[in-house]
Every structure is written in structure tokens, then in C-alpha cells.
């Protein structure tokens, strides 16, 4: 399943399930937040792993990088790579 679709479904579920939302947000306090986030998601039936999020962010960043003047070594540095975990928990925090 597509990682972005899974995250979309997870966000919908978390909007209506306070326990799920709190377990996902609690991952921010973990020594390994990405691992804790994915474990919480899997505990609620969402097939999500750390590499899924890392690869989705890297793929998105690479696509943006390639779109800058054809990419290559002289393409401008992008200020932020897509960190789907950070963006997701930030949005969840606003739901509280």
C-alpha cells in the first residue's frame, strides 16, 4: 500500500480516536520517535514501518530536487526535505 495513502487513513482514524491520536503523539517523547510512531500505528492496524516514511520523504525530496533546473550538481539546495513523521505529528498536535 502507498505510504501517503496509509498516512491519510491514519490521520482520519486519529481524528476520531483519541487513544490512537495520543499514542501517536506520545512517540515524540521516545528515544526513537519514528519507531514508536510506527509501532503505535501497527498496533492500531496500519501497516507502517520506519523505512516507509524515510523512503517516502526521500523520494519526495529527490523529485523536488530533480525539478529544479533539471537537477544535477548545480541545482539549488532545498531548505527542507519532507519529513512525513514531523509533519504528521504536528498536524495531530493541532487536533487536540
> Rounded CA gap, 62 and 21, in Å?
30
Q: According to the model, what pLDDT value does residue 57 have?
A: 57
Candidates 25, 1, 21; CA nearest to 10 is 21
User: Would you tell me how many other CB atoms lie within 10 Å of the CB of residue 25?
Assistant: 18
Output the pLDDT for position 59: 58
For position 95, what pLDDT does the model report? 82
Domain definitions of the chain by residue range? 3-95
pTM of the model: 0.74
pLDDT in tens, 32-66: 999 999 999 999 999 999 988 888 755 555 555 55
- pLDDT value of position 81: 45
Question: What's the Cα-to-Cα distance from 8 to each of 4, 5, 86, rounded to whole Å?
Answer: 6, 5, 14
d(CA 82, CA 96): 23
Please compute the mean of the pLDDT values over residues 20-32 and round it to a whole number.
Answer: 95
Percentages (nearest 5) of helix, strand, coil residues in the chain: 70, 0, 30
Can you give the pLDDT at residue 55? 82
Amino acid at each position: 500500500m502507498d505510504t501517503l495513502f496509509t498516512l491519510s487513513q491514519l490521520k482520519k482514524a486519529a481524528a476520531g480516536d483519541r487513544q490512537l491520536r495520543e499514542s501517536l503523539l506520545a512517540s515524540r517523547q521516545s528515544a526513537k520517535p519514528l519507531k514508536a510512531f510506527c509501532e503505535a500505528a501497527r498496533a492500531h492496524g496500519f501497516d507502517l514501518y520506519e523505512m516507509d516514511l524515510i523512503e517516502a520523504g526521500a523520494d519526495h525530496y529527490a523529485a523536488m530536487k530533480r525539478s529544479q533546473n533539471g537537477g544535477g550538481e548545480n541545482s539549488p539546495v532545498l531548505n527542507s526535505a519532507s519529513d512525513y513523521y514531523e509533519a504528521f505529528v504536528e498536524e495531530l498536535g493541532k487536533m487536540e
